[in-house]
């Protein structure tokens, strides 16, 4: 990716200055910190001395060619109203917050968006390597930040949300999903309820917040717990059955509340979700 026009980078070490591009990466005029690039791919690596990420490990990471697999991205974007929530945003400049497999990139580029993708290791679809808790982008660079199934992998979601808020333009939107009732997976730290997510986004400065259930605990927990579901074919057959059981259960809740003439409360609507889908808007100042 050619960064000459956009986005602007800032120093993650001192946050005092925009970075200058050099032949071998980037450099901070204020503190002198040099940011190298991955040799084979020329992907710049922005890691501060505070980050637990290991710069040497990142630089020696072997990037293998990989075929683009849209299956995961398709299933993410077809979950509940996630796509409809993206449709409520304006602007085309998108930061993909941790999209290592490239699925989101391909999906969003097809939909006409301009992407910057970062992850914590270099990959064939990555533009920038950095730590999601310390973004190397200047303030207000993006119209939209997309983050699907990443928040549970952050050791400090409050800090990351503040960073997302900072790099969004006023009126910009964060759209994505995060685990709630999912089993532990791939170094996940904090699985959040709707109240947890709301707290994280509010404290970061977001205004309007919209939440919906993604897949359900029946699908996420049962799907992972029963070992036979590791066989792809079996999982394919049992998946609709898990969905069906959840829908039946929800229909019973709806009936119960309907008989009392009351709408379903968030405790039921969102309380059995495997993941939650969110849209959070940075207020226009």
Of residues 28 and 86, the one with the C-beta less far from Zn ion: 28
Among 7, 9, 10, 11, contact with Zn ion (rule: CB under 5 A): 11
Of residues 17 and 193, the one with the C-beta less far from Zn ion: 17
Name the segment binding Zn ion (CB under 5 A); options: 22-30, 103-111, 166-174, 211-219: 22-30
Q: Which of positions 25-44 make contact with Zn ion (CB under 5 A)?
A: 28, 30-31, 33
Q: How many residues sit in the footprint of Zn ion (CB under 5 A)?
A: 7
Query: Measured from the CB of residue 14, what is the shortest distance to Zn ion in angstroms?
Result: 3
Name the segment binding Zn ion (CB under 5 A); options: 10-18, 192-200, 208-216, 265-273: 10-18
Cβ-in-10-Å burial (0-12, 13-18, 19+) of 262 comes to exposed
Q: Which helix (H) or strand (E) is 184 found in, with range?
A: none
Bond preceding residue 7 cis, omega within 30 of 0: yes
Of residues 31 and 251, the one with the C-beta less far from Zn ion: 31
Of residues 31 and 231, the one with the C-beta less far from Zn ion: 31
Query: Measured from the CB of residue 30, what is the shortest distance to Zn ion in angstroms?
Result: 5
Query: Measured from the CB of residue 158, what is the shortest distance to Zn ion in angstroms?
Result: 24
Distances (CA, A) of 37 to 4, 10, 89, 235: 16, 16, 33, 41
Query: Measured from the CB of residue 41, what is the shortest distance to Zn ion in angstroms?
Result: 24
Does the footprint of Zn ion cover residue 22 (CB under 5 A)? no
Query: Measured from the CB of residue 126, what is the shortest distance to Zn ion in angstroms?
Result: 23
Each as own residue / partner, the long-range contacts of residues 47-52 (CB below 8 Å, 24 or more positions apart, any chain) are 47/12, 47/129, 47/130, 47/131, 48/12, 48/13, 48/131, 48/134, 49/13, 50/134, 51/12, 51/131, 51/133, 51/134, 52/131, 52/155
Q: How far apart are CA 169 and CA 195, in angstroms?
A: 25
Does the footprint of Zn ion cover residue 143 (CB under 5 A)? no
38 near 121, Cβ under 8 Å? no
Interface residue list for Zn ion (CB under 5 A): 11, 13-14, 28, 30-31, 33
């Amino acid at each position: 990716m050619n960064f000459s026009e956009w986005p602007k980078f800032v120093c993650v070490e001192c946050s005092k200055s925009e970075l200058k591009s050099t032949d071998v990466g980037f450099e901070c005029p204020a503190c002198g910190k040099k940011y190298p690039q991955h040799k084979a791919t020329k992907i710049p690596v922005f890691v501060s001395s505070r980050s637990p990420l290991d710069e040497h490990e990142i630089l020696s990471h072997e990037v293998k060619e990989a075929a683009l697999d849209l299956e995961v991205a398709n299933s993410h974007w077809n979950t509940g109203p996630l796509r409809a929530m993206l449709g409520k945003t304006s602007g085309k400049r998108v930061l993909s917050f941790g999209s290592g497999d490239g699925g989101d990139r391909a999906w969003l580029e097809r939909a006409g968006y301009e992407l910057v993708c970062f992850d914590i290791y270099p990959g064939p679809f990555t533009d920038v390597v950095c730590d999601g808790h310390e973004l190397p982008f200047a303030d207000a660079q993006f119209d939209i930040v997309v983050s699907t199934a990443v928040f549970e992998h952050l050791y400090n979601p409050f800090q990351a949300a503040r960073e997302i808020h900072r790099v969004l333009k006023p009126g910009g939107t964060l759209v994505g999903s995060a685990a709630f009732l999912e089993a532990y997976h791939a170094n996940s730290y904090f699985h959040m309820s709707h109240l947890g997510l709301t707290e994280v986004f509010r404290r970061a400065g977001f205004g309007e917040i919209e939440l919906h259930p993604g897949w359900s605990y029946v699908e996420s927990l049962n799907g992972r717990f029963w070992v036979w579901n590791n066989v792809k074919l079996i999982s394919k057959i049992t998946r609709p059955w898990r969905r069906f059981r959840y829908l039946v259960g929800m229909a019973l809740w709806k009936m119960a509340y309907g008989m009392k003439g009351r709408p379903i409360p968030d405790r039921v609507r969102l309380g059995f979700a495997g993941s939650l889908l969110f849209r959070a808007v940075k207020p226009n100042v």
